[in-house]
Amino acid sequence: MSLFLIVALPFFGALLPGLMNSAGRQACAGLTFTVSLAAFIGLLTNLPAVLAGELVTARVDWIPSLGLNFTLMLDGLGFFFALLILGIGLLIIAYARSYLSRDDNMGEFFTYLLLFQGAMVGIVLSDNILLLLVFWELTSLSSFLLIGYWKHLPEGRQGARMALTVTGMGGLSMIGGMLILGQIAGSYDLSVILQNRDLIQADPLYLPALLLILLGCFTKSAQFPFHFWLPHAMAAPTPVSAYLHSATMVKAGIFLMARMWPVLSGTPEWFVIVTTAGLITMVIGAVIALFKHDLKALLAFSTVSHLGLITMLLGTGTAFGAMAAMFHILNHATFKAALFMSAGIVDHEAHTRDIRRLGGLRHLMPITFVIATVAALSMAGIPFLNGFLSKEMMLEEATHTVLFGSHWLVPALATFGSLFSAAYCFRLIGHTFLGPVRDDYPTKPHDPGAGMWFPPAILVVLVVLIGVAPFLAEPFVKLVTASVLGEAAEVPKAYFKIWHGLVPALFMSVAAVVGGLLLIAVFKPALRLWDAAPRPEAKTIFEALIAAVVALAERLIHGLHNGAFSRYGAIMAATVIGAGYYAWATGTVGAPTREMQDMTPMAVAGWLMLAAATLGMVFLHRNRLMSLILIGIAGLMVSVGFVFFSAPDLAMTQITVEVVTIILLLLALNFLPNRTPVESTVMRRTRDAAIALAGGLAAMGMAWHFLMRDAVTGPISQFHLANSYKGGGGTNVVNVILVDFRGFDTYGEIIVLGIAALLIYALTETLLSGPVRARLLNRKPDQPRAGDMHPTMMVVLTRVIMPVVLMVGFYIFLRGHNEPGGGFIAGLVVSIAVVMQYMASGFSWASARLRYPYHGVIGAGVLIAGLTGIGSWFVAKPFLTSDFTYVRIPPFQEFELATAALFDLGVFLAVVGAVMLSLESFSRLARRAHVKDPEHPMDIDPSRDETQAAAVKEGV
């Protein structure tokens, strides 16, 4: 099966259990099992190729320019881990089906589980380190969901948050490390990186990359001092713990260390950091585990300890160490998953996991007893079980390891750790299952159905099988080791067997087991000693740390952003100016390359008006109507400037937009106070003026700078000028750019405009249906109203002028492709014509004559523009390719027909609709209760009869 499919199956499958929730628990579990099984079988179909030593790959270029490709690779190592993930995953799914209670949402659980499974498979099959990072983060996220699955438990939520914080932080540093690694090797493909050992280790950035990557691995694999999150993640349902902490999540860090082994290991830095961290973790984990009373906590710390053991083996940097590590990963996955599931069974049946409340279960749960005992003895390192074999290899490797110049340090600590390890295994068996039957269990336990004990039983069979006949596992482990080592080292010749003779490792093993038994004999005094000893509580430290970080962030954010817009506006402006100044001061400035053009008196006059209007606004802004008039002048001068500097289209757009904006602001001012009171202090105004002056100078300096220099590279508009007529069929290049070259942009912009108008409409509706409505209706205008609301002269004038303006709009629209004009400008002109009717003849009169709702006009515009674009698909061209032809219909002259004109029609309609919908919304607010809407367009109309006119007059 294709590698893509193996990775994709769990992800796609993840959709199903969530959707199938109503189909029942059996269907959910069955479906999840089937999906996993399909991926598992798919993986097995690749077994012959892997056994033959081939590298199975699959590749799709994703973002080649970033070096990010969807490249998958399957070698011995990847196969081994994928086998563990999918194989143990199948057992976990079967187990979870029986474990979860009726109150648990099973679809949700299996969806998270499959997401996690897919992410894990993705990690071990990735050939591209960027892709690997994506999957790496996905495991952090999906494990967060799994650990916090029991949302009602505060421990579950806290544990999930802690796991996410720690592993997420590690993931971030890992991104940094991987990017450095990719930069050094010149490629983000693992297969390339793995072949550049010498290049990478000689690079000065090797150490930072190593530290960052190890930080990621250590946090994920719970190595000291990041081991604390793992026990807290035990608040998850037991199937999750069994899955995450035996075969998958925590093995991801180990996997990555193994994957990167050929390029990163073998240096003194690697050896010291990894071996030391592993050793410390192994000892600390084992010691704490012995004194934990919660079965799952005991197993959690024992997992920490065993991960430390594997890390230490990888740290030694020898081929034998790597082989022992791989073998122990296999063994640990089998016995630890079985133990977690057994702990889950005990919890499920006895309703407690506290070892102090258990004991004597051997008589009540014989099957569980056998399973748990065999697995625990394997973990303790008892011969004829698989844990013994890899532990022997570890001790053997330890005797050869010299750390900090000491020959005995590593062997002594390894024996010490093994001693505690044996002790907690014996405690697990002795205090839970042996001893007399008690009568104070929360519930009287008995063996569960086969659904729960069968999955761990399968694993225990493996434990015994490998333990008795290690030669069965040998070829496979050696194959995996070969792909770990790559070309860096040879696979060791050592055989896997139970009896190696009277070697030091055997004595160490015997010492550990005997010591463990002795320790258990004196457990009670030891526990008193342990309880009396002071020791740091990781959770408290972690929470204090998080609280400190949050407090710091709060201080920082509240200092900048305290709800005062004017404050953070000032901060933002000052920051932008400061950053600009920094860039200016550190950059280089070339000599001017352009001549300054002469000033004309007219230009100076325009400048003076603009400057006066702006200054006037600053000083007179408290008089709002005045500032509105002044901004009109500024806008007018900007439009004149556009005409002057050869931009007729811009000038037309600016001046029409100016008109509608001023009308809009006038409508708003109708409701707002007419004056702005003096509120800010002189200090405050001085500060604002200083920021404003600095900003103005910066903008001026920047504009001045580039106006006097040619662009570094020629502008791309030469292309537009050259192709406007040939390719777009129009001589107005600006319009051709809008409707043709960059038609997609324009299409987006009319949609944005339409959304803005709809938003305004929606806001108006909300206002008018809420408490504001009453206030609006009873509002007393603060200015005297004009006696004649609809002056006859204006009504007549606008009525007469309407067809003329429409004609002008039509003309501007048609000529747009070749002369200044086009859909935008025509739309604005037509809007102004309609607005004039509203102003002159009143809202009701104009609305009554409205044939199409403005929403519809916007929609039609966007639709026409979109359909025009889609039309080009039918002639196998990309979206929005335009075409044109010349036709001649006698007696007219020859003229051009272009699809771009159709697109422009869409633009026109969208603009008309958007502008009118906005203005209409505003004017709806203005309708008041105590003034009846005039039913006639003119207050005085000679054609109406005298009595009616008199009645209306009285009414007003």
Site for other proteins in 772-831 (CB under 8 A): 772, 775-776, 818-820, 824, 828
Q: What angle do CA 435, 439, 443 make, to 5 degrees?
A: 110
Binding other proteins (rule: CB under 8 A), the pick from 339, 395, 665, 909 is: 665
User: Measured in whole angstroms, how far is the alpha carbon of residue 39 from the centre of its chain?
Assistant: 27
Residues paired with 74 in a beta bridge: 56
Q: Indicate the residue among 636 and 801 with the shorter CB distance to other proteins.
A: 636
Q: Which of 660, 802, 814, 902 binds other proteins (CB under 8 A)?
A: 660
Residue number with CB closer to other proteins (346 or 739):
739
Closest of 478, 296, 233, 282 to residue 391, by C-alpha: 282
What are φ and ψ of residue 896, in 5° steps? -100, 140
Burial of 161 (C-beta count, 10 Å sphere; 0-12/13-18/19+): middle
Cα(445)–Cα(431) distance, rounded to whole angstroms?
Answer: 16
Q: Is 632 in the site for other proteins (CB under 8 A)?
A: no
Binding residue (CB under 8 A) for other proteins from 753, 846, 857, 901: 753
Contacts of 597 (CB under 8 A, 6+ apart): none
Using the contact rule CB under 8 A, the part of the chain among 63-71, 145-153, 580-588, 761-769 near other proteins is 761-769
Region from 159-167, 478-486, 685-693, 800-808 binding other proteins, contact rule CB under 8 A:
685-693
Interacting span for other proteins (CB under 8 A) from 48-56, 277-285, 515-523, 647-655:
647-655
Please choose, out of 83-91, 269-277, 423-431, 626-634, the segment that lies near other proteins by the rule CB under 8 A: 626-634
Minimum Å distance from CB 869 to other proteins? Answer: 16
Query: From CA 199, how far away is CA 206, in angstroms rounded?
Result: 9
Interface with other proteins (CB under 8 A), residue from 450, 672, 870, 956? 672
Q: Is 751 a residue that touches other proteins (CB under 8 A)?
A: no
Q: Between 445 and 754, whose beta carbon lies closer to other proteins?
A: 754
Q: Identify the residue among 134, 413, 494, 691 touching other proteins (CB under 8 A).
A: 691
* 477-486: burial string, b at 16+ Cβ within 10 Å, e else: bbbbbbbbbb
Beta-carbon contacts of 674 under 8 Å, excluding residues fewer than 6 positions away, are: 623, 624, 625, 782, 783
738 binds other proteins, rule: CB under 8 A: yes
Tell me which of 370, 767, 794, 952 binds other proteins, using CB under 8 A.
767
- The angle subtended at Cα 894 by Cα 893 and Cα 895, nearest 5°, is 110
Contact 198, 266 (CB under 8 A): no
Region of 220-228, 407-415, 443-451, 738-746 interacting with other proteins (CB under 8 A): 738-746
Among 109, 388, 642, 903, indicate the residue that binds other proteins (CB under 8 A): 642
Which residues sit opposite 406 in a β-bridge?
403
Kindly state whether residue 37 participates in binding other proteins, applying the rule CB under 8 A.
Answer: no
- Under 8 Å between Cβ of 917 and 761: yes
Between 276 and 868, name the residue whose CB sits nearer to other proteins. 868
Q: Which is nearer to other proteins, 471 or 619 (CB)?
A: 619
The angle formed by the CA atoms of residues 660, 662 and 663, to the nearest 5 degrees, is 65
With both helix axes pointing from N to C terminus, report the angle between 386-399 and 504-521 in degrees, rounded to the nearest 10.
Answer: 120
- CA-to-CA distance for 18 and 881, rounded, in angstroms? 43
Closest CA to 257 of 183, 313, 193, 197: 313
Residue 720: CB minimum distance to other proteins, A: 6
503-562 positions binding other proteins, by CB under 8 A: 562
* Segment interacting with other proteins (CB under 8 A) among 9-17, 517-525, 625-633, 798-806: 625-633
Minimum distance between the CB of residue 593 and other proteins, rounded to whole angstroms?
11
Euclidean distance between the first and the last CA atom of the chain, given in angstroms as a whole number: 85
- What is the token pair recorded at 19? 């959707």
Nearest 10 degrees: Cα torsion 424, 367, 453, 456: 40
The pair of structure tokens assigned to 493 is 């010749």
- Smallest gap from Cβ 798 to other proteins, in A, equals 22
Q: Which is nearer to other proteins, 522 or 556 (CB)?
A: 556
Q: In whole angstroms, how far apart are CA 407 and each of 267, 573, 926, 945?
A: 19, 64, 91, 120
Min CB(647)–other proteins separation in Å? 5
Nearer to other proteins, 466 or 665 (CB): 665
Q: Which of residues 97-126 bind other proteins (CB under 8 A)?
A: none
- As measured in angstroms, the least distance from the Cβ of 635 to other proteins is 7
Minimum distance between the CB of residue 603 and other proteins, rounded to whole angstroms? 6
Q: Which helix (H) or strand (E) holds 742?
A: none
Residues of span 573-612 touching other proteins by CB under 8 A: 573, 594, 596-600, 603-604, 607, 610-611
Q: Which stretch binds other proteins (CB under 8 A): 423-431, 494-502, 689-697, 801-809?
A: 689-697
Q: Which of 357, 330, 329, 355 is nearest to 343 (CA)?
A: 355
- Among 401, 746, 837, 841, which residue sits at the site for other proteins (rule: CB under 8 A)? 746
Which residue type, as a one-letter code, is found at position 437?
V
Spatial distance between the Cα atoms of 904 and 936, rounded to a whole number of angstroms: 37
**Cβ 834 to other proteins, closest distance in Å?**
16
Binding mask 907-946 for other proteins (x = CB under 8 A): ----x--xx--x--xx--x---------------------
Give the one residue of 504, 641, 791, 866 binding other proteins; rule: CB under 8 A: 641
Using CB under 8 A as the binding rule, the residues of this chain from 693 to 732 that contact other proteins are 693, 695-704, 706-708, 710, 715-717, 720-721, 724-725, 731-732
Query: Which listed residue (101, 540, 588, 646) binds other proteins by CB under 8 A?
Result: 646
Q: Which of residues 393-452 bind other proteins (CB under 8 A)?
A: none
- Nearer to other proteins (CB atom), residue 447 or residue 819: 819
Least spacing, CB of residue 768 vs other proteins, in Å: 10
| Beta-bridge mates of residue 675 | 623
Residue of the chain from 680, 686, 778, 847 that contacts other proteins (CB under 8 A): 680
What is the CB neighbour count within 10 angstroms for residue 803?
Answer: 10
Consecutive H or E run containing 58: strand 56-63
| Binding of other proteins by 669 (CB under 8 A) | yes
| Residue numbers 826-855 binding other proteins by CB under 8 A | 828
Among all chains, which residue has been given the structure tokens 């506290």?
354
* Cα gap 888→516, rounded to integer Å: 103
Strands 56-63 and 884-887: unpaired
Residues 6+ apart with CB under 8 A from 485: 261, 262, 319, 322, 491
The answer to the question of residue 567 lying near other proteins (CB under 8 A) is yes
In whole angstroms, how close is the CB of 420 to other proteins at the nearest point? 55
| Helix 450-468 with 366-380: angle, nearest 10 deg | 40
648 binds other proteins (CB under 8 A): yes
Contact region with other proteins (CB under 8 A), list: 7-15, 210-218, 322-330, 676-684 = 676-684
Q: Considering beta carbons, is residue 453 or 922 the nearer one to other proteins?
A: 922
Identify which of residues 190 and 758 has a Cβ nearer to other proteins in the complex. 758
Q: Tell the smallest beta-carbon distance from residue 554 to other proteins (Å).
A: 13
Binding residues for other proteins, how many (CB under 8 A)?
121
Stretch that binds other proteins, among 15-23, 189-197, 198-206, 734-742 (CB under 8 A): 734-742
Q: Which amino acid is located at 690 in the chain?
A: A
Q: Please answer whether residues 356 and 398 qualify as being in contact, where contact means their C-beta atoms are separated by less than 8 angstroms.
A: no
Q: 644 or 895, CB closer to other proteins?
A: 644
The DSSP-derived string for 106-122 is: HHHHHHHHHHHHHHHHH
> What tokens appear for 933 in the block?
């809407």
